[in-house]
Amino acid sequence: MTVNKRIKEARLALNMTQVDFAKTIYISNGYIAELENEHRVANDRIVHLIALTFGISEQWLKTGEGEMFNKTPEGKRERINNLFDELNPYFQDYVLKQIAQLIELQNLNKKEHEP
C-alpha cells in the first residue's frame, strides 16, 4: 500500500470527510482528493503535518510498519495542543472547564468503586 492510500485509510479511520480532514490541516480538499487518488506525491511536509495533527504514526504513514495511531500520551498531548490552539479564547476556557468537570467525575467514579 502506498503512502497516499495510507493517508486515505487514516482519514477514514478518523471518520472524517475529505473536506474536514483538509480543513483541519489548512489545505484544500482538492489536494487531499488528488493525494488519495495518487495524482500527487505525498511529500514529507504533508506526511509530518498529518501525523502531528491527527496523532498518526509518521513511520506507519511512510512505510506501513507499526500501529496507525500513536498510543503514547505524548502524541495525544501534541494533538490536544494543536486542536486547542485553533480555538478562540472563549472556547479554550470552555474546554478547560469541561476537562476539570471530567476529572471530578472520574474521581467520584473511583471513590464509588473502591472497596
- By the 8 A CB rule, do 54 and 14 touch? yes
Q: What is the pLDDT along the chain (115 residues), one digit of tens a residue?
A: 999 999 999 999 999 999 999 999 999 999 999 999 999 999 999 999 999 888 899 999 999 999 998 876 666 777 788 888 889 999 999 999 999 999 998 888 777 766 6
- By the 8 A CB rule, do 28 and 35 touch? no
CA distance 102 to 23: 28
- By the 8 A CB rule, do 98 and 90 touch? no
Domains, the chain, ordered by start: 3-63 (1.10.260.40), 73-112 (no CATH)
The 8-class DSSP code of residue 39 comes to: S
3 state DSSP class of 69: strand
